[in-house]
Structure 1
Amino acid sequence: MIEEIRIQNLGVIGRAHVQLGPGLTVLTGETGAGKTMVLTALSLLLGGKADPATVRTQAQAAAVEGRVVLPADAPALVRAEEAGAELDDDGSLLLVRTVGAGGDGGSGRSRAFVGGRSVPQAVLGELAQALVTVHGQADQARLRSPAHQREALDAFVGPQHRETLGRYRTAWAERARVDTELTELVERAQDRSREAELLRLGLGEVERVDPQPGEDVALAEEAERLAHAEDLRAAASGAHAALTGDEDGGTDAVSAAAVVEHARRLLDQAGTHDPTLAALATRVAEAGYLLADASTELGAYLEDLQADPRRLEVVHQRRAELGTLTRSYGADVAQVLEWAAASGLRLLELEGGDQRIEELRATRDGLDASIAELARTLTLGRAEAAQRLADVVSQELTGLAMAGAQLQVVVEPADAPGPHGADRVEMLLVPHAGAPARPLGKGASGGELSRVMLALEVALATAPHDDEARPGTFVFDEVDAGVGGRAAIEIGRRLAELARGSQVLVVTHLAQVAAFGDRHLVVTKSTSDGVDVVTESDVRPVEGEDRVRELARMLSGQDDSQAARTHAAELLELSSVGR
């Protein structure tokens, strides 16, 4: 239930506080007084589109705040908590929407808050589906739509039917996904075959060459060494001779190792008298060890070093083989091996395409069978409920001063199954006895559509449903347009009956409807600095004589007309709801 709405700088409303309650609340006022802006504010709270043009002139932004009270297990409350909302101390949920002014000095941006937490606008829309059902003159146009008529029938059937419809739509969506994948696989069969053949050729070439990790780097080093074997031998031999004192090295048999050892002994002897020289002796000894190691390694290097033209030819040939791979499949052997691994997996996927096609066809056949069975169940539920809905609505239409009027709900096979089943639902109206049945979209007037829509709501409100199926608040925006007299009284009576189990807010221009309200709010305009504005004091509840005066104004345009006041009092006496 919506407890209250606070509005600031929206259209003609400077600041307003609309207090609501259970039962039927009627909202009246002169044309242009601001009733529409109250509904615009409610629309913003429910995730409706924000229009910067609705921001009051010279204001930087408009703000709407609503307080909602929900049961602890209400779906809307669960969704709000998922979005991070926090409840107030009294257990109510606060909804806030701001709209920036467009043009100079304004961003035109809209922001939404639920329970103190900033949320996307779409979250408000999700909450609205579980909170409020809004009916206006635009909804009369939607009632002409076969899709809207089908939705109304589905809502009437019951919760088990809606669960079946949910399963059907899930299966239908999955079937569409499977069919898309299957079509793509079949259409691309030739491309996949060509790709697989190219991969086989490439993998075959890689398998024939059989590159090893790091082989290209090792062969490059070996080729460089073999190509300069004599230069390497001369350098290593000369260095070895210099270290060991080999006469062939041209050092007169004086080795670097011997010179270092001589220096070490001198320092070692003197080091007993000076710690500095002792430390240096240690370092020189370490240098001697390093020279000895280097000498040993050079000797081993000379023994292994060979100038082998045949081996060099083999290395060049192997590098050429690897080069054919790296030119086609990667910059080096590592990348070639990575390509081979990925291509092997891709080839398995391509070769499994035919199997995948068969799997998808089997899945599609299974889904088709499931969809057909679910569609039959939906058709049975709709066909069984169609007559019941027609009877209930027709009975309501009789009470709404449309004696002899009948609603017919026709369920026929659709040209092809769709995401909502295999049925075409159409509502036909017989406006009076002897008249032909005509589709709501063609033959019904605005006043007739208003009454049909209200009758449908009463029927749906009394239909079997679960807690999530029907919102607890209904809003009607001048759905009584085009009617009057007895029909208007009956509309008020039906609205009051609907309000026995739900919160109902009605914006009306008919006194016959307003008289049935449990709470009557009047919106007026005042003038401030020559500009029309609605302030806190301009949205007020009326009772007693004030209410009689307002109803008289609605009846005759003159609140001081004695005849109108008498008629207003009679209307209040006729209404038993809210008295």
Structure 2
Amino acid sequence: MAARTTTPERVPAATTDRDHAGLGQLTELRIRGLGAIDDVTLEFGSGLTVVTGETGAGKTMVVTGLTLLFGGRADPGRVRANGRAGVEGRMLLPADSAAWERAADAGADPDDDGSLILSRTVSAEGRSRAYLGGRSVPVGVIAELAEGLLAVHGQTDQMRLSRPAEQRRALDRYAGAAHLELLDRYRAAFQRWRQLAADLERRHTQARELAQAADVLRHGLAEIGAVQPEPGEDEALAAQVKRLSDADALRAAADEARMALIGDVTGDLAGGDVPQDATASLATAERALAGSDDPALVLLAQDLADAVAVVSDVAGQLAGYVADLDADPARLAEVMDRRAAITALVRKYAGAGEGLAGVLAWAEDAEQRLAELDVSDEALAALTAERDAARTEVDDLARHLSAGRTAAAEGFASEVARELAGLAMKSARVSFSIESHPEDPGPEGADDVTLLLAAHPGAPARPVHRGASGGELSRVMLAIEVVFAGADPVPVMVFDEVDAGVGGQAAGEIGRRLARLASDHQVVVVTHLAQVAAFADTHLVVDKSPDAGAGVTATDIRAVAGEDRVRELARMLSGLADSDTGQAHARELLAVAADARG
């Protein structure tokens, strides 16, 4: 497709009196160069937003853009011929949102209005970049944020939920926060048990090799223990060696400095020419100024008196320094021997440039490794007991998990069945099969969980993906999603043609349920059903139009209201936007939806 240069079209949101700022909401989405979309900016309001349009117009590009923005896989095949696609979104989040905390950790800054701006670009070669609050970040950071901000429900999710492992996860989510906390404890206990079992097996099968490795470590620890070096001792010894080696020169320098400051206090120079020392000179100058009547000179005299005190103090410190100097050759030899012993350890057990710190780190690591290499009877017995205790904990937690799943299954099945009753499946029965295998627990517990469906009276309960037709499966999965979504803490929920294969009264019930969700969440729905679209607070229409200059198809998105919305619903109902019958039906749908929402 050829690119078109246009001014981004801004599609405004409808005004609604509902506000979901407590959770947060997406206020704006800009899509550039993605699929058939050239450049369009959508403004979202709170409540329910529906996206409609003819088949092939590009409705799902809105969902694709949202998925890409929040860390989804970048498909270069979606990039238009201009070579780069981009998606940018603006979210308003409460100040105490966990998403803000994570964004701040990544270096993100809020925009002038306090919103968080996310953006993503994808090249035709598949290269992708992500930005959060004006900072370039790994795509994984955006994807991590998405877990708490966005939930996408689509036909892919229906296929995913048909798998038993996903059904088990769904049941765990439904069971609530306490159950999920128990599941986390189980996972940690299971991992610990498996690690202990693997460690015990390793020690049994590799006893000889481990014993040899342990001997090497013990020899090294014995060498280090014989020297018993202290942290930083190598540097301290180097300083001592220097002082002891240079003791005579250091003493001469200190004595000369002290003489210059305070003169010969020992009287050794009596009768000779005594040089003027610093304190005497300063005292003479101080007396000369102190007798003056000029205030400025008096102040300077005080400064000189302070200087005399400082010089005397330095001289005293120099005297103490000289007294402490040790020029004992025996002490020097002792320090040199100690330094040589530590240097030998450094050469053998420390890495390049690590010094004594590397030796001490090696010793600490060796102590830990010895505990892992111990193949003595006592160590193996202790490890066996630890492994068995861990397995006992796993079994106990697995039993509690099974009980929690069994208790939750009845309530979950009942809620799904209640939703199905409103979706023209009043006789359908939903249940869970929970088979426990305590002798062979897995990472998620000891249960095999399967969602069963009996579509009509007398029908056997079968796994849901085998016991339902295409239309029934869509309704079952939508019912499951509605049950989950009501308790989902994410602020933005997206439903991508989950109403496929549904019509008639059930379609209206789908719209009613999505509108109910929109009282607590911001809900975006891609739909082909007028009965669903009639419940929208904001109605966006995707139009495709031929680009005469390039001979290709381009997509625009516009918000509709009033008579334009009636015409769009009529088109969805009859295929003819100007049909009087279709428009009358459309107005009837809008009235029914308004009454249903109160």
SS in structure 1 at match of 2:441: strand
User: Do residues 81 (structure 1) and 99 (structure 2) align?
Assistant: no
Per-residue deviation, residues 103-149 of structure 1 (Å, max 9, x unmatched): xxxxx310001111111111111111111111111111111111111
Q: 1:24 aligns with which of 48, 63, 85?
A: 48
CA distance 1:54–1:515, change in 2 (3 Å) = same
In the alignment, residue 115 of structure 2 is paired with which amino acid?
Answer: S
Q: Go from structure 1 to structure 2 and tell me whether the alpha carbon gap of 1:202 and 1:517 turns closer, same or farther (over 3 Å shift).
A: closer
Question: Is the 8 Å Cα contact of residues 26 and 492 (structure 2) preserved in structure 1?
Answer: yes
Measured at CA, do residues 18 and 358 of structure 1 come closer, stay the same or move farther in structure 2, by a change above 3 Å?
Answer: farther
What amino acid is aligned across from residue 407 of structure 2 in structure 1? E
- Per the alignment, residue 222 of structure 1 pairs with none
> What does residue 86 of structure 2 align with?
63
- Tell me if the contact between 1:461 and 1:498 (Cα under 8 Å) persists in the aligned partners: yes
Q: Distance in 2 between matches of 1:337 and 1:564?
A: 90
Determine the C-alpha separation between the residues in 2 that align with 1:411 and 1:196. 48
Q: 1:540 to 1:185 in 2, by over 3 A?
A: same
In structure 1, the partner of 2:550 is: 530
- Classify 1:385/1:190 alpha carbon distance in 2 versus 1 (closer, same or farther; 3 Å): same
1:453 aligns with 2:477: yes
Which residue of 2 is the match for residue 442 of structure 1? 466
Partner of 1:541: 559
Provide the residue aligned with 2:150 in structure 1.
132
Identify which of 457, 473, 484 aligns with 1:433. Answer: 457
Deviation at 1:203, TM superposition (A): 12
| Matched letter for residue 192 of structure 1 | L
2:420 paired residue number: 397
Match of 2:571 among 553, 566, 577: 553
Query: Partner residue of 1:105?
Result: none
Matches within 5 A, 1:27-426: 27-57=51-81, 59-102=82-125, 108-194=126-212, 338=348, 352-354=374-376, 355-414=378-437, 416-426=440-450
Q: Tell me the distance in 2 between the aligned counterparts of 1:128 and 1:351.
A: 44
Q: Distance in 2 between matches of 1:343 and 1:575?
A: 75
Gap regions ≥5 residues in structure 1: 103-107, 211-332, 464-468
Letter in 1 for 2:35: G
Q: Is the 8 A contact 2:52 2:528 kept in 1?
A: yes
Deviation at 1:349, TM superposition (A): 5.7
Report the CA distance between 1:452 and its aligned residue: 1.5
8 Å contact from structure 2 (residues 539, 561) kept in 1: yes
Residues 1:414 and 1:145: Cα distance change in structure 2 (over 3 Å): farther
Matched, 1:495 2:514: yes
Q: Deviations over 1:57-90 (max 9, x none)?
A: 1x13111001112222222222212211111122
Q: Work out which of the residue numbers 539, 543, 556 in structure 2 matches 1:520.
A: 539
Between the aligned partners of 1:31 and 1:550, the Cα distance in structure 2 is: 14
For the structure 1 residues 194 and 343, does the alpha-carbon distance in structure 2 shift closer, same or farther, using more than 3 Å as the test?
farther
Structure 1: which amino acid aligns with 2:409? A
Percent identity over the alignment? Answer: 52
1:385/1:16 Cα in 2 relative to 1: closer, same or farther (>3 Å)? same
Alpha-carbon distance in structure 1 between the residues aligned to 2:526 and 2:99: 25
Letter in 2 for 1:499: A
| Counterpart AA for 1:111 | R
Q: C-alpha distance in 2, partners of 1:449/1:500?
A: 26
Instruction: Write the distance in 1 (CA, Å) between the matches of 2:139 and 2:363.
Output: 46
CA contact (8 A) 2:474 2:498 kept: yes
Deviations, residues 377-413 of structure 1 (Å, cap 9, x unaligned)? 2111111111111111111100111121111122221
- Partner Cα distance (1:356, 1:83) in 2: 45
Where does residue 332 of structure 2 map in the other structure?
Answer: none
Change over 3 Å in CA distance of 1:94–1:531 after alignment to 2: farther
Provide the rounded CA distance (Å) in 2 between the counterparts of 1:493 and 1:514: 10
Contact 1:137–1:479 at 8 Å: present in 2 too?
yes
CA distance 1:337–1:101, change in 2 (3 Å): closer
Give the letter aligned to residue 399 of structure 1. G
- Contact kept? 1:44, 1:64, Cα under 8 Å: yes
Match of residue 321 from structure 1: none
User: Given the superposition, is the C-alpha separation of residues 496 and 185 from structure 1 closer, same or farther in structure 2, using an over 3 Å criterion?
Assistant: same
Q: Distance in 1 between matches of 2:533 and 2:472?
A: 20
Q: Is the 8 A contact 1:94 1:116 kept in 2?
A: yes
- Assess if the C-alpha contact under 8 Å between 1:553 and 1:564 holds in 2: yes
Cα distance in 1 between the residues matched to 2:512 and 2:373: 71
CA contact (8 A) 1:375 1:422 kept: yes
Q: Which residue is 1:15 aligned to?
A: 39
Q: Aligned with 1:64: secondary structure?
A: strand
CA offset digits 1:341-388 (Å, max 9, x no partner): 989968966873335434433332232222222212211111111111
Distance 1:578 1:200 in 2: 77
Aligned mates of 1:203, 1:491 — CA distance in 2: 72
Q: What is the SS of the residue equivalent to 2:42?
A: strand
**Separation in structure 2 between the aligned mates of residue 481 and residue 201 of structure 1, nearest angstrom:** 72
Q: Which amino acid aligns with 1:369?
A: T
Please give the alpha-carbon distance, in whole angstroms, between the structure 1 residues aligned to 2:560 and 2:218. Answer: 87
Q: Any idea what SS the aligned residue of 1:453 has?
A: helix
Which of the pair has more CA radius of gyration?
1
TM, length-normalised to structure 1: 0.71
Letter in 2 for 1:374: L
2:592 to 568, 574, 579: 574
Contact 1:140 1:446 in 2 (8 A): no
Corresponding residue SS for 2:436: strand
RMSD after superposition:
3.0
Per-residue Cα deviation, 1:170-215 (whole angstroms, up to 9, x for no partner): 22222223333222222210223455679999999x9xxx9xxxxx
Give CA-to-partner distance per residue, 1:552-572, whole Å, 9 cap, x none: 111111111111111111111
Letter in 2 for 1:439: P
Q: Secondary structure at the match of 2:64?
A: helix
Matches within 5 A, 1:442-481: 442-462=466-486, 470-481=489-500
What is the identity, as a one-letter code, of the residue corresponding to 2:482?
V
Change (3 A) 1:199 1:546: closer
Q: CA deviation at 1:455?
A: 1.4
Distance 2:575 2:489 in 1: 38
> Separation in 1 of the partners of 2:157 and 2:522?
19
Contact conserved, 1:196 with 1:350, CA < 8 A, in 2? no
Gaps of 5+ in 2: 1-24, 227-342, 350-358
CA distance in 2 between partners of 1:471 and 1:428 (Å): 28
Preserved contact between residue 34 and residue 534 of structure 1 (Cα < 8 Å): no
SS of the aligned residue for 1:457 comes to: helix
Give the equivalent residue in structure 1 for 2:525: 506
- Cα distance in structure 2, aligned partners of 1:441 and 1:530: 45
Alpha-carbon distance in structure 2 between the residues aligned to 1:202 and 1:126? 45
CA 546–179 in structure 1, closer or farther in 2 if over 3 Å, else same: same
Residues 66 and 95 in structure 1, CA contact (< 8 A), matched pair in contact too:
yes
Q: Matched residues in 2 for 1:163 and 1:402: separation? A: 35
Alpha-carbon distance in structure 2 between the residues aligned to 1:151 and 1:178: 27
Rate the CA distance shift 1:458–1:196 in 2: closer, same or farther, 3 A: closer
CA deviation after TM superposition for structure 1 residue 429, in Å: 0.8
Question: Could you tell me how far 1:434 is from its partner in structure 2?
Answer: 2.1
